[in-house]
Each structure stands twice: as C-alpha cells, then as structure tokens.
Amino acid sequence: MKLTSIKVLLGFIILVVLGGLGVAWSGLYNIAATDKHWGITSEFLEIVRERSISANAEKIKVPDLSDKARIKRGAANYDAMCAQCHLAPGMKTSELHEGLYPQPPVLYKELDMSKEEPHELHWIIKNGIKLTGMPAWGNYNSDEQIWDMIATIGAMKDMTEEEYKALVAAGEHTHAMGGHENMGMDHHTNDQQEKTSDHHAAEEGQSSHHNAEEEKSGKQESAPHSHGGKDHHH
C-alpha cells in the first residue's frame, strides 16, 4: 500500500471513531429499554450471544434432567428466583416480564428441551447475560441447584397451575440467599420491592444467611430497608 492511501485510510478510521464518540457524547442514542434495537443490531447481538455462550459452555457435563427428585428440588427455587421474570404455569404476566427489554422469555413454553443444549442453559443461568435483565445466579447457587431448576423448567411444559403450585409447595428453597419465605409466594402481585430489600438484607448478613432467626431479628439495624420495616404481610 502507498503511503497516501494509508493516510487516507487512517483519516477515515479516525473520522468514524470520532463520529461514534460524537453520537455517544451528544446523548442522541436512546438507551431506553422501550426503544427497540434496529434489526441489524439485534441480529448482531444474537450472534455475539450465541457464539459466546456456546464457546463458554462446552465443557459442562449434563446430568439426568428427567429425574423426578431433581424436578421437585428445583421448583421452589425457580418459583422464588425466576418466575417473576420468566413466568410459570398459571401466571399470565408480571411487571418485570413486561418491563424488561430484551423481554425475558417464558422459558417453560418457549424452550424446547429436546432441541436445547442444556449445558448452554446452565452456563447462562450461572453467569447471566450482560446488558439484559438476566442476572448471574452462580454466586449463591451450586451447579447442582442450577441443574435442578433446568429440570423443573423442562417438566413445567405439561404442568397445570395446580400441579406447579403443589410442586413448589412440596419442595424447599435450598439456595443460599436468606429471606426467601416470602419470595414468589403470590404470583399475581408485584413484590419486586420486597425481593430487592430481601436481597440486601441477605447480602449484608452473609455469615448468618442460614440462620432464619437471625435473618428476621438481626437485620433491622444493619438493613433499615429490610422487609421487617415494610407494612405488607405475607
């Protein structure tokens, strides 16, 4: 390449970069979740997502997901941690499900477990997805607990609302976060505030998060916004 064409190329690159920075700085880009991506942006993000997940998830081993005990073990945790976004049998919608963009998929309807790669789902649940509302759950949930929830999701397709609720009630929350006794119990109310404050309470008291008594009594001072101070009942 001649020196002049290199200069032209460099000049062009600088212009593009400055232009991009200019748009970013100007505030013209609408970051609102309600402003949907252009088709091409969505496609690009989809490719980034697919490639990243399959590259990262390859090494994970998949256990037997049709195991009834596993399906049962996952139900209460799914209900407490996932249903408010991904819904469950008997839930028509939720504020989080509607408000987030990208919208959380209704997993039990939309995922076809015979076609899905379970180890990719495991990776997603453990690590979350950047720039979406999908959190990483791996900090407080073991790999086994994540498999349990995947098994539950797979079995939910054929469940009635009653069957789902019975399964949730029969299981116990096993995830490490405390303060779960009031989480996800009533699908039809928006109790996100309550959940957020619960999580704060649990974070501030990690050393005692297995102790329900301390959870209830000890948090008021350290976490003034914990659910102890709210006037709703469970």
User: Is 86 an interacting residue with respect to ligand HEC (CB under 6 A)?
Assistant: yes
The answer to whether 138 contacts ligand HEC (rule: CB under 6 A) is: no
Q: How far is the CB of 104 from ligand HEC (least distance, A)?
A: 4
* Residue 132 within binding range of ligand HEC, rule CB under 6 A: yes
C-alpha span between 192 and 211 (Å, rounded): 23
**CA nearest 196: which of 52, 95, 45?**
95
Distance CA 146, CA 227 (A): 26
Q: For residues 96 and 156, which CB has a smaller minimum distance to ligand HEC in the complex?
A: 96
Is residue 57 near ligand HEC by the rule CB under 6 A? no
Q: Cβ closer to ligand HEC: 95 or 222?
A: 95
How many other β-carbons are positioned within 10 Å of the β-carbon of residue 208? 15
Asked if residue 129 binds ligand HEC (CB under 6 A), the reply is: yes
- Contact between 134 and ligand HEC per CB under 6 A: yes
Q: What is the DSSP string of 163-224?
A: HHHHHHHHS---SS-S--TTSSS-TTS--HHHHHHHHHHHHHTGGGTT-HHHHHHTHHHH-T
C-alpha count within 13 angstroms, C-beta hemisphere, residue 172? 3
User: Is residue 199 near ligand HEC by the rule CB under 6 A?
Assistant: no
Stretch that binds ligand HEC, among 9-17, 56-64, 123-131, 166-174 (CB under 6 A): 123-131
Residues that bind ligand HEC (CB under 6 A): 49, 81-82, 84-86, 96, 100, 102, 104-105, 107, 121, 124-125, 129, 132-135, 137, 149
